Chain A
Amino acid sequence: MDLLRHLRYFRAVAEERHFGRAAERLRIAQPSLSQRIRRLERELGVRLFDRGSQGTALTPAGRLVLAEADHVLAAADRLAAAVARIGSGAAGTLRAAVPPHLGPAAVAALITGYRERSPGGELELRELTTTAQARELAAGTLDAGVVRHPCPAPGLAFGPVLHQPLGALLAEADPLAAVERLTAADLSGRALVLTPRADDPALYDEVLTACARHGCTPAAVHEASGADFTRALVLSTAPPAPAAPRTPGAAEAPGAPPGSEEPPAPAAPAPGGGAVALLPRTTAGPGTVWRPLAGDPIGWRTSAAWPADGHNPAVARFAEAAHEAMRDHAGMRPARAAAVHPRPASEFPL
C-alpha cells in the first residue's frame, strides 16, 4: 500500500468531513476514495470515521491519526524537496533570507562573508519578512535566515541577538530636523510611519510599546514598506509652522499666520506636525534627513535563525557571517539586558 497517498486521501476526507466533497477535491471517484479509506483502516487496524447519515466525523483514533498524518506528510514533503534539489544539482546551495531594511552594506558583507567561509558554496538570498521566514523555515523551503524579534519560535533556533537602533526620518523642513539628537518624547503627538503591522504584528506592537515607554504617544500610525513610499509619506504631511509650537488651542492655524512674511506651507499642516518614519540609520532620500534618538531607546532586535532540528555546517557558517555583517556593517550591538518586573499574574518567578 502507498501509505503516503492513502494518508493524503484520509486528510482530505477529514478536512472536508464529507466523502463526496473530498473526492471532488482529489479528482477521483467517490467509490474509489471510500475503498482506499477502508483499506487504510484495515492496514492501521482502527476505524477512522463514523459514517453517519448526516455526515462523516472522525473517531478518536481518526483524530490521533490526523495529527500524526500531518507530521508524516510534512516530513515527506521536505524529503521530496531535498531529493529534488540534489537531482537538480542545487544541493550545494544554501537557501537563505534577510528581512527588509537590513541595509545594503550589511547584506553585501553577509554575502561576502559567507563566500569566504564556504568556497564553492552557493547562496540563494531573498528578502522576506520575519513571519514569512518563520513559515518557510518550518516548511523546509528555507535553510537559514536573518529575522527580527519577536519571531515565532516553535521549531526554530536563533543565534545571538543584536540590537539595531531606530532613528527618525524627517522632512528637511521639519523644525525637529534642526535638532541633532532627538528624544523619543520629541516625536510624541506626531504621526509615525512604521513597516506594515500585517508583516510582523509582534514587532510592530513592540516598537509602539517602546515608544510609549519612552514618552512618545503618536497621534496616528501610517504603514509603509518601501523606502520611496515611506519618504513620500514623510514629505506629504507638512511640518507645523515653526512659530506654532504644540499648545492647546492652536487649532486656528490652518494657513499662514496673518502678517507672516513666510511663503505659505505647501500643504495644510497635519495635526501635531509632520509624519516621522522610524528606521535604522539610512541614507536619507532628497528632502529628508535621518536623526538618531538619544540613548537608542527604540530598536529592532535581529538574529540569525534556522530549524532547530537541522545540523547543517553551511547554516552555521551563514549564521556566523550574518552576525559579523550586522555587527560590523549595520551598527548593531549586543542587546542590552533590561530590568524585569513581572506582574503577579505572570505566575512564574523570575
Chain B
Amino acid sequence: MTPPQPPPPPERPEPARPPDATAPPAPRTTAPTPPAHRTARSRIRRAFTEAGVTGQLHARDIDTGAGLAVAADTPVSTASVHKVCLLAALYREAEHGRVDLTAAVDIPADGRTPGPTGLGAMRDAARLSLRDLAVLAVSVSDNTAADVLWDAVGIEAVNRTMTALGLTRTTAVQKVRDLYAALAEDAGAAGAAALLDPARVARLRALDPARTNRSTPRELTALLAAVWRDEVCTGAYAADLRRTLGTQAWGHRLASGFPFDDVRVSGKTGTLPTLRHEIGVVEYPDGGRYAVAVCTRAAATAVTLPAADAVIGTAARLAVDALRAP
C-alpha cells in the first residue's frame, strides 16, 4: 500500500474548520447547564465510586451537539477502543481510493498478534478481505485482524485522519503487538500473575496515556458523531462502516445499560489491566442518536469484575437520559 497523500492539516491554532467534530455546531443554543445535567453528573460520579472505579464520560447528542461531560478532557489510554480510529481511517482511505476494502490478505499461521478471540485464537492460515478483518476487529476485538489492518493503513494515516477531523488529542503510537510486547516486558518474569499485582500494575506503561495510544472521552464521541454524520466518509462507505461498528458481540458494558429491543447499540470496548472502556452510539426509534464514551480504571486488579463492566452501561444511560430530558 503506497502512503496516501494527507489531507492538508489545519495550520492555524484557531478551532479547526469543518469538518470539525470537536466544536459544537454553530446554531447551537448555549443555554446554561440544565439542572437535569447537573443531577446526572453527580449520579454518574456516584455510580463510578460505588462500582469501585475512577470514571470519565462524555455523551453527545449527534444531531444537536448538546453534551454531558465528566472529566471528559483528561487523556486516557485507549486500548482496543483505538480500533474505531483505525476503522474510520480504513474507510476514509478506501473512499479516497487509496485502499481496496475487498483486497484479500494472507494471514499465515505463524507470527500472529496474541489474543483470546478470532484469528488470534485460530491456528491455521487464513485469507480474508480488509473489510472482513474489520468485522473481526470489532465483533470480537480480534487483535490479529486489527494488526493486519494497522499494517495496511499505517499509524500515520490513522493519526492524519484524526487530525483532519479536528481530533488533535487522539494519537496512536503503537500497534497491538507493540502494546502487548510492552505489557509483557513490564510484567517481567512473573508473567501474567504480575498483572494482578497492584504495585506492578501501577507502573504499566500501557496504562499511561503519555506512553501509549491515547484520546479523550470528548474526542471519542466527536469521532463517533463524525462517523454517524457522514463526515468521515460518505454513502455506501459510511453505511458499511456503521454496520461494521454494530457487529460487536459483547453486551456486558455499554449495551447492558440499554436492555431495550427497540434501541440500537453499536460499540467498541477497550480493556487492559484495571482499564475498562467502551465507546458507542445509542439510537432510539424516535430518531435520537447519542455518541457515548465511558472510560474507567478500577481499583481492583481482578480480571473478572462484572460491576466495573456494568457501570459503563449504567453511567451511559444516566447520561443519555439527561440528554433526552425535555
Tell me the A residues contacting B by CB distance below 8 Å.
Answer: 17-18, 46, 50, 52, 54-57, 59-61, 63-64, 66-67, 149-154, 156-161, 197, 201-202, 205-206, 209, 301, 303, 308, 335, 337-338, 340, 342-350
Whether B202 contacts A54 by the Cβ 8 Å rule is: no
Whether A52 contacts B30 by the Cβ 8 Å rule is: yes
Whether A54 contacts B31 by the Cβ 8 Å rule is: yes
> Considering only CB atoms, which chain B residue lies closest to A61 in the complex?
B15
Give the A-B pair count, Cβ closer than 8 A: 143
Q: List 25 A-B contacts (CB under 8 A).
A: A17-B33, A56-B30, A60-B23, A67-B74, A149-B299, A149-B300, A150-B299, A156-B202, A161-B197, A202-B298, A205-B307, A206-B302, A335-B197, A337-B190, A337-B193, A340-B196, A343-B116, A343-B303, A343-B304, A345-B250, A346-B303, A347-B115, A347-B271, A349-B120, A350-B192
Query: How far does the alpha carbon of A347 sit from the alpha carbon of B191 in the complex, in Å?
Result: 17
Known A308-B202, A344-B116, A349-B116; judge A202-B299 contact (CB<8 A): yes
Residues of B within 8 A of A161 (CB): 197-199
| B172 CB, min distance to chain A CBs, angstroms | 17
Whether B297 contacts A153 by the Cβ 8 Å rule is: yes
Whether B32 contacts A151 by the Cβ 8 Å rule is: no
Whether B196 contacts A337 by the Cβ 8 Å rule is: yes
Q: Which of B15, B73, B196, B301 contacts A67 (CB under 8 A)?
A: B73
Whether B269 contacts A345 by the Cβ 8 Å rule is: yes
> Considering only CB atoms, which chain B residue lies closest to A71 in the complex?
B74
Q: Which of A52, A55, A350 contacts B195 (CB under 8 A)?
A: A350
Residues of B within 8 A of A57 (CB): 24, 30
Tell me the B residues contacting A by CB distance below 8 Å.
Answer: 13, 15, 22-24, 29-33, 49-54, 73-74, 79-80, 114-117, 120-121, 140-141, 143, 180, 183, 190-193, 195-199, 201-203, 218, 250, 252, 269-274, 297-304, 307
Whether A55 contacts B30 by the Cβ 8 Å rule is: yes
Whether B30 contacts A349 by the Cβ 8 Å rule is: no
Residues of B within 8 A of A153 (CB): 198, 201-202, 274, 297, 299
| A150 CB, min distance to chain B CBs, angstroms | 4
Known A59-B15, A67-B74, A149-B299; judge A348-B197 contact (CB<8 A): no
Query: How far does the alpha carbon of A349 sit from the alpha carbon of B114 in the complex, in Å?
Result: 6
Whether B30 contacts A54 by the Cβ 8 Å rule is: yes
Residues of B within 8 A of A335 (CB): 197
Whether B22 contacts A344 by the Cβ 8 Å rule is: no
Whether B271 contacts A346 by the Cβ 8 Å rule is: yes
Known A54-B29, A340-B303; judge A152-B54 contact (CB<8 A): yes
Whether B32 contacts A17 by the Cβ 8 Å rule is: yes
Query: How far does the alpha carbon of A238 sit from the alpha carbon of B270 in the complex, in Å?
Result: 48
Query: How far does the alpha carbon of A17 sit from the alpha carbon of B38 in the complex, in Å?
Result: 12
Whether B73 contacts A64 by the Cβ 8 Å rule is: yes
Residues of B within 8 A of A349 (CB): 114-116, 120, 143, 180
Query: How far does the alpha carbon of A308 sit from the alpha carbon of B198 in the complex, in Å?
Result: 13
Further contacts, 15 of them, CB under 8 A, given A149-B300, A348-B272? A55-B30, A55-B31, A63-B73, A67-B73, A150-B300, A152-B54, A153-B201, A157-B202, A308-B202, A338-B193, A340-B303, A346-B303, A347-B79, A348-B116, A349-B114
| A51 CB, min distance to chain B CBs, angstroms | 9
Residues of A within 8 A of B195 (CB): 340, 350
Residues of B within 8 A of A61 (CB): 15
Top 4 nearest A-B pairs (CB, nearest first) are A202-B52, A150-B300, A150-B299, A350-B192
Whether B298 contacts A150 by the Cβ 8 Å rule is: yes
Whether B201 contacts A348 by the Cβ 8 Å rule is: no
Whether B301 contacts A340 by the Cβ 8 Å rule is: no
